[in-house]
Amino acid sequence: MGDKQNALLFHEKALAVREKILSPNDPLLVATKAITIEENILSLDAPSLETTYNNIAVAYGFIDDQQNALLFHQKALTIREKILSANHSALAATYRNIASIYHSMNNYSDAEQTLSPNDPSLGTIYNNIAVAYDSMDDKTNALLFYQKALAIREKIRNPKDLSLASIYSSIAMIYTSMEMKTEAVQFYEKSLNIQESLTSSNSSSMYVIHFNTARTYEDLQNYDAALKHAERSLFHGRLAFGSDYEKVRNVERYINILRSSK
C-alpha cells in the first residue's frame, strides 16, 4: 500500500510542478515517470490510473501532439468503460475527445487509404467515431459511421458475435430517434436474434432492448409483435432486477395496455 501511496504522491507532485514551474513540454517527462510507476503498482482498472492517463492526454493535446493524446485518451477510455456507467459525462467527454482527435488528424481517412477495407482496426476507428457522434446527438454522422463499422464487422466476425448485436442495437436506436420505425425494428430484431441465442446474454440489456422493440412495434400499430416483445422484456427484467423493481412493474402495466389495445 505504501508503494501505491508513493506513486500517487509522485504524480501529484508532478502535476504541481507542471502548473507552477516547468515549460509545457517538461511536465510530460515527469508525468511519464509517474505513469510508469503507477502502471507497475496499481490495478489496470484503478481510477487513479485512468485520471493520470486523461491528464497526460490533455497535456499532449495542448502541445498539439495528437498521436500521443489519442493513445492516452484510449488508455483512459479502456478503464472508464469498465468502471463508469454508459451515460456518465466523463465517458461521453472521452468519446468526444477521441472523435475530435480523429478528425483533426484526418485519421480515419488515412486509415481508409492505408488499411485493408476489412481490417478490424478500421472497424474500431469507425465505431469509436460513431459512438462519439452519438454522444453528441449527431445522429446522421453516428449512423454513417456505425454502418461503416458494421460493414466490416459483418465480414470478419462470427454472425453471433455480441459486438454485432451492439451495433445493430445502436443503429436501431438511431433509426427510432429519426422516426424511421420500420428500419428500427429490423435492427432491433437482428440484435435480439444474436443475444437470445447466447447463454451469456445480459438480461438487463435484453430487458431494455425488448422494451424498446415493443414500443417501436406499438408505434407501427403491430400490437401482436409489441406484446410479444413486452412479455420478453418482462421476463428478462424479472431475471435481472426482480419482480418488485419499479421499471419491471411499469412493463407489467404496459403489457396490460397492449392487451386492451388488441
pTM: 0.65
**Mean pLDDT of all residues in 162-173:** 95
Kindly state the percentage of the chain with pLDDT values over 70. 76
At 22, is the pLDDT very low, low, confident or very high (cuts 50, 70, 90)?
very low
In this predicted structure, the answer to whether residue 35 has a pLDDT above a threshold of 60 is: yes
Q: How far is CA 148 from CA 38, 82, 155, 232, in A?
A: 37, 25, 12, 31
Per-residue pLDDT tens for 169-213? 999 999 999 999 999 999 999 999 999 898 777 889 999 999 999
| Confidence check: pLDDT of 17 > 50 | no
> Is the pLDDT at 163 greater than 60, yes or no?
yes
- In the chain, what are the domain boundaries? 1-105
DSSP letters of 61-77?
HHTT-HHHHHHHHHHHH
Q: Is residue 140 over pLDDT 90? A: yes
Q: What is the pLDDT of residues 59-84, one digit of tens each?
A: 888 888 888 888 888 888 888 888 88
Taking alpha carbons only, the member of 31, 21, 22 closest to residue 53 is 31
- d(Cα 184, Cα 193) in Å, to the nearest integer? 14
C-alpha–C-alpha distance, residues 222 and 224, integer Å: 6
Has residue 7 got a pLDDT over 50? Answer: no
Residues in contact with 86: Cβ distance below 8 Å, sequence separation at least 6, in sequence order? none
* pLDDT per position as a tens digit, 204-255: 999 999 999 999 999 999 999 999 999 999 999 999 999 888 999 999 999 9
Distance, in Å, from the CA atom of 247 to the CA atom of 228, rounded to the nearest integer, reads 18
Tell me what pLDDT residue 30 has.
56
Answer yes or no: CATH 1.10.3720.10 is held by domain 1-105. no
Q: What is the DSSP string of 91-120?
A: HHHHHHHHHHHHHHTTHHHHHHHHS-TT-H
